[in-house]
Amino acid sequence: MQPPAATHGVIGRRARAALATLLQTGWDELSRRATIGPDQRRAKAFGHFGPGAAICFPVAALYGEAYMRIGAGTVVGPYATLSAGVMPGHVPDNDPVISIGERCVIGKGSGVVGHRSIEIGDDVWTGHHVYVTDANHGYEDTTLPPGLQFAGPKPVVIRSGAWLGHGTVVLPGATIGRNVVIGAGSIVVGDIPDFSVAVGNPARVVRRYVDGEWRSVIRISGPEAGSSGAADPVGPSRT
C-alpha cells in the first residue's frame, strides 16, 4: 500500500489533470460558440457578412460594424481589432469604411482600423499581428499632444491575392497590388505594383514579374532616382 501522503499526491495530480482537461475543453467550446458567424445576431449589425465568414473569439475590439463589409468565406483570427470610425458611435462620412473581400484570412492579433476607406480584395491572407489603417495623428500644433491631433485619413487599397507577412504595417495612403508579397515586419507607405515582392521599412520592391518571369530588382541611387530611389528589374531570379 502507498502511504497516505503518496495517495493524496496521486489524487491531487489526477484532479489537476482532470481540471485542466475540463478548462481546455470548455475554452474550446466557448471559442467555437462565441465566434461570430453569419447566422448570429452580432453579424446582423454588419453592412454585409457573407456566408461562411467568421470572426474568431475572442475579439479585442469591434465597433462601427454597420460600415463594414465582410465577404463570403473570410476568416478573421482571434484577438483581432476591427473598427470603423474614430470611436464607438461615430458616424463616418463614407460607407463602407472597411471592405474585406471573399476567402480572406486575417491573422491572429491583427488590426484593421478605418476612419474613411480601407478596401481589401479577395483571397488576401495575412500573418499574425498585421496592422492596417487609413488614419494617423498630427503633431503640428505644439500646444496639444499628438494623441489629440488627427491628420486627414488617406484611403488604403490591398488588391486581391496579396499576402502580408507577420507584423506588416500598412499606413495611410498605401496601395498594395495584385498577388503582392509583403515580407514580415515591413512597413508599407506607398504604392506596391502588381506581382511583386516588397520588404523593409519603408517596404521596397525587390522582385517583380516581368515579361513572363520573376526578376530581381536593383535600386538606382543618386539625384536622378529621387528620395526613395528608383527600381529597375534585372535578370531572372535564381530562387
Q: Which of 48, 128, 129, 137 is catalytic?
A: 137
Task: State how far the Cα of 23 lies from the Cα of 193, in Å rounded to an integer.
Answer: 48
Q: Are 183 and 197 in contact (CB under 8 A)?
A: yes
Q: Which amino acid is at 211?
A: D
pLDDT of residue 239: 42
pLDDT digits (tens, 9 = 90+) for 80-122: 999 999 888 888 889 999 999 999 999 999 999 999 999 999 9
pTM: 0.84
Task: State how far the Cα of 57 lies from the Cα of 48, in Å rounded to an integer.
Answer: 19
pLDDT of residue 82: 98
pLDDT of residue 13: 82
pLDDT of residue 225: 41
With a cut of 70, list the residues of the chain below it in pLDDT: 1-11, 219-239
pLDDT of residue 200: 96
Catalytic residue at 137? yes
Q: Which amino acid is at 1?
A: M
